[in-house]
């Protein structure tokens, strides 16, 4: 494919249409796990026939199925909680850990198999020509050290290693994107289209959930009943926060906030795909509906940075790109949402109270220090922090709220040791430096994505490695050559 004509490519039109149709079928028919897997394999076959490449097709299908929490689930009891009657009421099965083999995992197996076959046909010569740079070595070291830490320190090493499954898939895809695909602009724009469709689907679900003030009862939702999000002083009660296919409204909010800077970049382009425009505006609406302060805070910081860079560093006049009538329409459209958000923002003043969210996070970190001091090099193993802290301190905050530390960086240090945290921070710094040094509008949009992910990790127990590694894998000069800005 001629990369210079990528914005007019029927290839991308087909990919977007097929992806959207797949999600709508999943939504409409609400299939059980086996039927959903069958639909995913049919999509894989259709993409393979159209794209004439099984590796590409399986990669795209993997991305599309990665948001569907469907598959075989195994529940492991880490602690019975018999000593804590109050917790036993809320957690009748005890403190559990869920291990699942998802549809995306099955598709990833197809991806690996097709990749191996292609490499075998070419005599594996591409592997011999790979030249790893410092960022590649650091990412591999981070992953390898995490495995070592789990094997060395986890009470249930096999469980901790299984929880690394997602990171293993992301690192593998990072290496494939970095060293194997020959048309980075085509792959990058394909990923943008797929993420636009994902954002549309998540927003489509979230708006429905908001309207009926509950999950839809679909098989692809994690929760089928109303989930109470905390009972802290700064929480807004009697307001259902939509989840999409995620396990928490904050996770949905941060996902949307992290993708929005890239969508914004393409929205201000002269020629972009309609699905990108639709997804951009829907995701802005849903971002507010999630009432996720961490996501909203991260988004406003990131988009403020991006607007500043566009105006003052790159000298891009955004006023000319966005007509006044459209700007007024957008303001009027979002004004009711601003009113809806006000109570949530107002209650932030209670976050430092004894039962506030900020106080809770500080208590979690403080009461985890003893564990970190005891295991500074390896931690206690992935997924083992809560049960380890409860066993050490039977009167602490974790016996009232047995949830992972709501600060990903401290959680990583406690579970995989300070070396893991150090490696991750170095990786982030190098990724940001590489994006900034590329000095293009697109890579500055990437920096905004990193800002959202970093800030989200300060307040939540999760971190989106996939976006960071996928974006950092591309040759910025090649994918930026076709910008219209």
Q: Does the structure show a pLDDT above 90 at 410? A: yes
- Least confident residue range of 60-64, 295-299, 356-360, 386-390: 356-360
**What is the model's pLDDT at position 8?**
53
Mean pLDDT of 461-466: 92
Q: Does the structure show a pLDDT above 50 at 418? A: yes
Mean pLDDT of 345-361: 69
Is 256:202 a contact under the CB 8 Å cutoff?
yes
**What is the model's pLDDT at position 2?**
41
Q: Does the structure show a pLDDT above 50 at 98? A: yes
**What is the model's pLDDT at position 238?**
56
Q: Does the structure show a pLDDT above 80 at 351? A: no
Mean pLDDT of 373-393: 93
Q: Which has the closest alpha carbon to 187: 197, 179, 195, 177?
A: 177
Q: Which has the closest alpha carbon to 273: 213, 192, 215?
A: 192
More confident residue, 272 or 464: 464
The pLDDT confidence band at residue 148, using thresholds 50, 70 and 90, is very high
Model confidence pLDDT, tens digit, residues 40-50: 999 999 999 99
Q: Does the structure show a pLDDT above 60 at 230? A: no
Q: Does the structure show a pLDDT above 80 at 3? A: no
- Least confident residue range of 202-206, 397-401, 412-416, 462-466: 397-401
Can you read off the two tokens belonging to residue 245? 């296919």
**What is the model's pLDDT at position 227?**
59
Query: Cβ–Cβ contacts within 10 Å for residue 282, how many?
Result: 19
Q: Does the structure show a pLDDT above 70 at 232? A: no
Mean pLDDT of 165-172: 95
**What is the model's pLDDT at position 153?**
93
Place of tokens 């990193």: 450
Q: Which has the closest alpha carbon to 233: 342, 346, 351?
A: 351
Q: Does the structure show a pLDDT above 70 at 257? A: yes
Rounded Cα distance between 93 and 80, Å, is 7
Mean pLDDT of 325-337: 74
Place of tokens 């070291």: 141
Mean pLDDT of 221-239: 62
Q: Does the structure show a pLDDT above 60 at 228? A: no
All residues at 6 or more sequence positions from 315 whose CB lies less than 8 Å from its CB, including other chains? none
Q: Does the structure show a pLDDT above 60 at 485? A: no
The pLDDT confidence band at residue 395, using thresholds 50, 70 and 90, is confident
Q: Which has the closest alpha carbon to 152: 475, 420, 431?
A: 420
Give the rounded percent of residues in the chain with a pLDDT score beyond 90. Answer: 60
Is 193:19 a contact under the CB 8 Å cutoff?
yes
Can you read off the two tokens belonging to residue 197? 């469709």
**What is the model's pLDDT at position 4?**
43
């Amino acid at each position: 494919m001629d990369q210079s004509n990528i914005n007019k490519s029927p290839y991308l039109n087909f990919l977007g249409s097929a992806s959207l149709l797949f999600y709508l079928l999943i939504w409409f028919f609400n299939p059980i796990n086996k039927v959903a897997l069958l639909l995913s394999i049919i999509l894989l076959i259709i993409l393979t026939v159209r794209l004439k490449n099984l590796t590409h097709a399986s990669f795209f299908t993997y991305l599309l199925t990665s948001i569907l929490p469907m598959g075989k689930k195994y529940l492991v009891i880490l602690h019975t909680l018999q000593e804590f009657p109050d917790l036993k009421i809320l957690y009748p099965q005890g403190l559990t850990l869920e291990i699942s083999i998802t549809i995306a995992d099955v598709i990833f197996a197809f991806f690996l198999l097709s990749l191996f076959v292609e490499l075998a046909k070419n005599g594996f010569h591409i592997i011999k020509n790979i030249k790893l740079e410092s960022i590649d070595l650091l990412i591999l070291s981070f992953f390898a050290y995490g495995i070592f830490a789990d094997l060395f320190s986890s009470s249930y090493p096999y469980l901790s290693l299984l929880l690394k499954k997602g990171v293993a898939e992301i690192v593998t895809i990072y290496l494939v994107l970095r060293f194997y695909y020959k048309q980075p602009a085509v792959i990058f724009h394909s990923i943008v289209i797929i993420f636009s469709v994902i954002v549309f689907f998540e927003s489509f679900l979230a708006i429905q959930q908001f309207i009926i003030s509950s999950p839809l009862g679909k098989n692809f939702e994690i929760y089928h009943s109303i989930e109470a999000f905390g009972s802290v002083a700064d929480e807004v009660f009697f307001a259902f926060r939509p989840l999409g296919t995620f396990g928490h409204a904050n996770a949905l909010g941060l996902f949307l906030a992290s993708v929005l800077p890239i969508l914004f970049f393409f929205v201000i382009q002269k020629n972009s795909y309609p699905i990108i425009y639709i997804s951009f505006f829907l995701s802005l609406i849903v971002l507010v509906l999630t009432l996720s302060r961490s996501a909203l805070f991260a988004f406003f910081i990131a988009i403020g940075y991006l607007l500043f860079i566009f105006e003052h560093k790159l000298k891009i006049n955004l006023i000319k790109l966005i007509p006044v009538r459209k700007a007024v329409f957008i303001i009027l459209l979002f004004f009711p949402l601003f009113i809806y958000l006000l109570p949530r923002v107002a209650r932030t003043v209670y976050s430092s109270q004894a039962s506030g969210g900020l106080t809770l996070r500080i208590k979690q970190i403080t009461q985890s220090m003893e564990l970190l001091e005891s295991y500074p090099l390896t931690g206690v193993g992935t997924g083992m922090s809560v049960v380890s802290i409860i066993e050490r301190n039977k009167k602490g905050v974790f016996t009232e709220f047995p949830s992972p530390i709501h600060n990903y960086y401290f959680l990583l240090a406690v579970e995989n040791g300070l070396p893991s945290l150090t490696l991750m921070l170095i990786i982030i710094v190098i990724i940001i430096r590489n994006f900034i040094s590329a000095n293009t509008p697109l890579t500055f949009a990437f920096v905004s994505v990193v800002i959202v992910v970093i800030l989200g990790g300060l307040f939540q127990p999760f971190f989106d490695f996939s976006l960071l590694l996928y974006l950092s894998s591309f040759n910025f000069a090649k994918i930026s050559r076709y910008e219209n800005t």
